[in-house]
Amino acid sequence: ESVEVQIEDQEFQLEPDNELRFEVENKNETVVLELKTGLAEIFGTELVKGKSYTFYFGAKIAVFTWQGCSLKLRGKKGISYISKETPMMFYLNCHASLEQLRVKSEKEKIRGPVTMVVGPTDVGKSTLCRILLNYSARMNALGRRPIYVDLDPGQGQISVPGTIGAVMVERPAEVEESFSQAAPLVYHYGHTNMSINSTLYNTLISRMAEVIHQRMDENPRINCSGLIINTCGWVKGKGYQHLTHIALAFEVDVILVLDQERLYNELVRDMPIFVKVVLLPKSGGVVERSNKFRLEGREARIREYFYGSPRNVLHPHTCEVRFSDIKVYRIGAPPIPNTLMPLDMQKTDLETKLEPVTPGPNMMHHVLALSFSTVVEEDVVRTSVAGFVCVTNVDTSRQMLTLLSPQPKPLPETIYLMSDVQFMDNNA
């Protein structure tokens, strides 16, 4: 007996300042959205009337309209609803203030607004960054080129989990993708949690800020567009210290605090007077994600790095390398008792120490980053990375590793940095 696939069309009429929220809740389910009349946007990117947009499993979407519109959803069986309460007006006002600062920086030839978005997990930090970036990129005539900086190694939006990255935003993101992905600047951290190696995390933050400031100094357009910095949801204790380190290193001008008054007050207290700290409401539409969902998100992100997305399928390659032909290191030596610590050495030195890894079964499923430095004499730890491979097989008898790689070319002679992050390649 065949099961009939039930595909429903649903039409929605939205009043001005309303949004339609929906999720794609089931694997294999897709939802197709179409704008019938009026104007609408998804997280700051405008929809084209009559065009079909397809969303896949895990998508949590809000279609917002300033003017009113009618929409059609196809294939939706779960919840979808219209909300009249959104914080979009506050977010638009933030954009307008940032735009004023950009105009000022253009005139006075000074650095444009460096904005940091903070708040606990699941308050819509990434979404707010996306909205602000898309709004500034939409103003084509002004030629804004803000840089998006993602400092949350947990999700690894810009490349893969276990890294932090930055990318220049030249155009609004496509409706169905989250961020445009042109030539990112990526640093290997190697863990998904900042607490595992705080020293390394802070070292990378400082380095990245230095490199980005340099790029801003060299390019007036980037300079006046400024930065939008996304941070991680760990805002208490040491997490808070990381936030203040980020603010200092990047020399932030504006901090947008989502949802948490306590955090807002702490920052007002601790930041220099010229830093503008703003408390913003979160959207009632932001969906809380379980740990399981977060883990799946991580895995999906790595899968996407190698295999692409339904809209942009990639064909990765596998290659074999001899144990003796690959130089693999990890950053951070295992802690040693204080009594055994050499006198001229500090605990923090150990945390940023380059340690050789002997190839073997310990590498199975691990992600390896390809450093831009080729010899250990260079400052490998503070050098950005070009891309990633994943160890899919270890053959100890033949002394061979099998690597999954996005590149068909033979692997470059470089230094590989082993990440704690693992990926099971079910496609192989």
The binding site for ligand ADP (CB under 6 A) comprises: 21, 60, 62, 121-127, 233, 283, 285-287
Q: In which residue are the tokens 């607004």 written?
A: 113
Q: Looking at beta carbons only, is 68 or 233 nearer to ligand ADP?
A: 233
Q: Looking at beta carbons only, is 80 or 407 nearer to ligand ADP?
A: 80
Q: Looking at beta carbons only, is 60 or 138 nearer to ligand ADP?
A: 60
Query: Cβ 5 to ligand ADP, closest distance in Å?
Result: 26
Q: What is the DSSP letter of 274?
A: T
Q: In which residue are the tokens 């030195």 written?
A: 349
What is the rounded CA–CA span in Å between residue 91 and residue 362? 47
What is the rounded CA–CA span in Å between residue 340 and residue 109? 53
Query: Cβ 19 to ligand ADP, closest distance in Å?
Result: 6
Q: Looking at beta carbons only, is 122 or 420 nearer to ligand ADP?
A: 122
Q: Looking at beta carbons only, is 121 or 374 nearer to ligand ADP?
A: 121
What Å distances lie between residue 82 and 11, 18, 86, 89, 363, CA to CA?
A: 11, 7, 10, 17, 48
The β-bridge relationship of strands 276-280 and 308-309 is unpaired
Q: Looking at beta carbons only, is 123 or 411 nearer to ligand ADP?
A: 123
What is the rounded CA–CA span in Å between residue 104 and residue 207? 28
What is the rounded CA–CA span in Å between residue 299 and residue 135? 30
Q: Looking at beta carbons only, is 122 or 174 nearer to ligand ADP?
A: 122
Please give the helix or strand (H or E) that residue 125 lies within, else none: helix 125-138
Query: Cβ 306 to ligand ADP, closest distance in Å?
Result: 22
The β-bridge relationship of strands 227-230 and 147-150 is parallel
Please, what is the end-to-end C-alpha distance for the chain in angstroms?
A: 33
Query: Cβ 293 to ligand ADP, closest distance in Å?
Result: 9
Q: Looking at beta carbons only, is 203 or 231 nearer to ligand ADP?
A: 231
Query: Cβ 178 to ligand ADP, closest distance in Å?
Result: 8
Minimal CB distance residue for ligand ADP:
285
Query: Cβ 292 to ligand ADP, closest distance in Å?
Result: 14
What is the rounded CA–CA span in Å between residue 53 and residue 174? 10
What is the rounded CA–CA span in Å between residue 152 and residue 116? 12
Overall residue count recorded for the chain in this entry = 428
Q: Looking at beta carbons only, is 76 or 125 nearer to ligand ADP?
A: 125
Angle at alpha carbon of residue 386, lines to 380 and 391, rounded to 5°: 90
Query: Cβ 368 to ligand ADP, closest distance in Å?
Result: 27
Query: Cβ 99 to ligand ADP, closest distance in Å?
Result: 22
Answer yes or no: are the C-beta atoms of 113 and 144 closer than 8 Å: no
Q: Looking at beta carbons only, is 295 or 428 nearer to ligand ADP?
A: 295
What Å distances lie between residue 120 and 15, 156, 235, 266, CA to CA?
A: 31, 17, 6, 14
- What is the Cα 175 distance to its own chain's centre? 17
Query: Cβ 91 to ligand ADP, closest distance in Å?
Result: 10
What is the rounded CA–CA span in Å between residue 34 and residue 288? 26
Query: Cβ 235 to ligand ADP, closest distance in Å?
Result: 11
Number of neighbouring beta carbons within 10 Å of residue 5: 6
